[in-house]
Amino acid sequence: MIILDGKRNDIGNTAGKYAKALFDVFKADAVTLSPYLGIDGIAPFLKYTDCQSFILCRTSNKSAGDFQDLQTDNKPLYEHVAHKIVEWNEHSNCGAVVGATYPYELKRIREILGFFIPILIPGIGKQGGDIKKTIEFGTNSKGDMAIINSSRGILYKDSSARFAESVRSEAKQLRDVINSYRMLKT
Amino acid sequence: MIILDGKRNDIGNTAGKYAKALFDVFKADAVTLSPYLGIDGIAPFLKYTDCQSFILCRTSNKSAGDFQDLQTDNKPLYEHVAHKIVEWNEHSNCGAVVGATYPYELKRIREILGFFIPILIPGIGKQGGDIKKTIEFGTNSKGDMAIINSSRGILYKDSSARFAESVRSEAKQLRDVINSYRMLKT
């Protein structure tokens, strides 16, 4: 599965062209989108009912809270986004992006989303997110419905001629750690 | 001047690569950025002190208010973004994007920004924004410090062989209308 992590966000007309480019031309199976413009920037992607759109909810970076944590109606902005994701999930093709670096927020967002909306979880590996808590709070009772991603932690593991081998080994090791925590849930 | 309207937003490491691509490789003079990830996604662009970064504040689209109008500490999210733009303007290379379709919000944002931060204003032309109010609220006492943009209204004016002529005429006409309102201020 190809997830094109472009975090696109634009007015409806332009979003429609981006959706066409990402899904039809680049043949992505899933994309990441940013919610600042509201439904207009999301809807053209959701029309591709066999493709998944992961919407930034609580991001993994240090300054994620600059705006995402602002409180309104007794809840932070990221919870408003989570509720909108539930509302926009008419065709069961929405997802949320939540950083592994914020386990409390991940837990809260999983509560709002329920167990039928997948969460794309970056932030383990290089960014230092906690894998155990990520599985505990991010997945369903079978340890499913989360896509846990490490990019730099694997890609930049080794720049020598043994690159392919090292990267394979690192990816397998991470998979095994993830699966060991998933086993604890079932 | 080339304004690359890509509305980029990503974690610091990736934002740094985007900044390099947009400014160094594509040679853009200015870019548009989306604020959802906070300063991490903005800072790498601001390091290019001779380039301008326009940050989405109140966008021109219909659903702009989905999140941008959420009230927190007695002000909407877009005003929080405007205050951050002022804070982030250390090298005098920040700007705001505000849609001409929302004159009241434009007025409010100009009040927060003062007269030394430029505003990129889409939404006239195809999207139906009001040019008179755009000049009245968006510019300084000389009618400056705003970049008023029409894309589709000009680009798609004519698909016949007379395209070049029609587009030129449309652009000139719009320029004249803009300037006539700017004259009223001085």
| Average pLDDT of every residue of chain A | 96
Specify if A160 maps to a domain: no
Specify if B94 maps to a domain: yes
B63 — pLDDT class (breaks 50, 70, 90):
very high
Specify if B159 maps to a domain: no
Q: How far apart are the first and last CA of chain B?
A: 25
Confidence at residue A149, expressed as pLDDT on a 0 to 100 scale: 92
- Number of folded domains that form chain A: 1
Amino acid at B164: A
Residues of B designated catalytic: 7
Nearest to B64 among A38, A73, A152 (CB): A38
Specify if A93 maps to a domain: yes
Nearest to A10 among B7, B70, B73 (CB): B7
Confidence at residue A158, expressed as pLDDT on a 0 to 100 scale: 87
Tens digits of residue pLDDT in B76-124? 999 999 999 999 999 999 999 999 999 999 999 999 999 999 999 998 9
Its ipTM equals 0.95
Would you call B140 exposed, middle or buried from its count of C-beta atoms within 10 A (0-12, 13-18, 19+)? middle
Specify if B168 maps to a domain: no
Q: What is the CATH number of the domain that holds A7?
A: 3.20.20.70
Tens digits of residue pLDDT in B129-138? 899 999 999 9
Specify if A157 maps to a domain: no
Specify if A184 maps to a domain: no
Contact B36 A10 (CB under 8 A): no
A7 touching chain B per CB within 8 A = yes
Residue span of the structural domain in which A137 resides? 3-150
Specify if B144 maps to a domain: yes
* pLDDT tops 90 at residue A133: yes
* pLDDT tops 90 at residue B7: yes
Give the gap in angstroms from C-alpha A9 to the nearest C-alpha of chain B. 7
* pLDDT tops 90 at residue A35: yes
